[in-house]
Structure 1
């Protein structure tokens, strides 16, 4: 069994979802913007989603703002995030087991640090490279940069609201 660390939920409005889920007791780390190149239907697409992780966990709750035209277009429960020591090998194992690849991060030089697979019933799994993603995520989840990141996020969301 792969070790799970989060449940991903796609939301229409990140700040609104954070506020709503705070009412039932969730606390949040600062929102961050994650620039990534992904392959969707074998075509490279650059995405810039806003996301935030709960302070409670593991498993953490990851809120991810929806992105039309991608696998993150529909709101609701989206995926289970799991760690893998070797994403390529684990992805191949899942594909061989009949759980096809849905999308992957695209990095020509170092391989994909994240890949999504989906079961026949629509359950999605995000395989994350623990060696490449784990250290940065651990720093983020420590909350050490929350004040700084909250300031950046507020500046961005305020500028969007003014336009």
Structure 2
């Protein structure tokens, strides 16, 4: 993991349209399409399907606006930055490294053929890090393409 692998700052909100409009008006942000749907995740209390909806800014530094998911505490509306999103060449290995440093893994999503698509891990000081497999970069980049 490296600082230069940071690719977005995530904000979770009950009002995603309002958050996007505010950032557009105040700072000139432009937005890609809203994407999402049912996602199977593993949380500390077990497996569940959650409806994750988000949009990424086309403008950099990239911001991800995530619609709050009331039944999933990890994605409850917050004020300010919710998480730091990093590309990972090996999500499982990076999770183990973070756990050795005292982070607690709060959610994961498996890849169809094995391994992890993403993981959320929180530090002892409350910093939430999202690791996303780098193999998803080309697909996710469509979320902030300008054309």
TM-score (norm 2): 0.88
* Displacement after TM superposition at 1:98 (Å): 1.2
Aligned equivalent of 1:123, options 119, 124, 127: 127
Question: Is the CA contact 2:31–2:144 (under 8 Å) kept in the aligned structure 1?
Answer: no
Work out whether residues 34 and 51 of structure 1, in 8 Å CA contact, stay in contact via their aligned partners in 2. Answer: no
Structure 1 equivalent of residue 10 of structure 2: 8
Q: Which structure has the highest strand share of the two? A: 2
**Is residue 114 of structure 1 aligned with residue 104 of structure 2?**
no
Task: Give the number of aligned pairs.
Answer: 142
Structure 1 residue 42 displacement after superposition: 4.3
Q: Deviations over 1:86-113 (max 9, x none)?
A: 1111111111121121111144642221
Which of structure 1's runs of 4+ aligned residues deviate more than 4 A? Answer: none
For 1:87, which of 80, 88, 91 is the aligned residue? 91
CA contact (8 A) 1:14 1:50 kept: no
Give the aligned partner of residue 142 of structure 2: 139
Q: Does 1:50 align with 2:53?
A: yes
How many angstroms apart in 1 are the aligned matches of 2:37 and 2:134? 17
CA-atom RMSD in angstroms: 1.6
Give deviations 1:58-99, integer Å, cap 9, x for gaps: x31000000012100132221000011011111111111211
For normalisation by structure 1, the TM-score amounts to 0.80
Provide the residue aligned with 2:42 in structure 1.
39
* Larger Rg computed on CA atoms: 1
The Cα of 1:21 is off from its aligned counterpart by 1.5
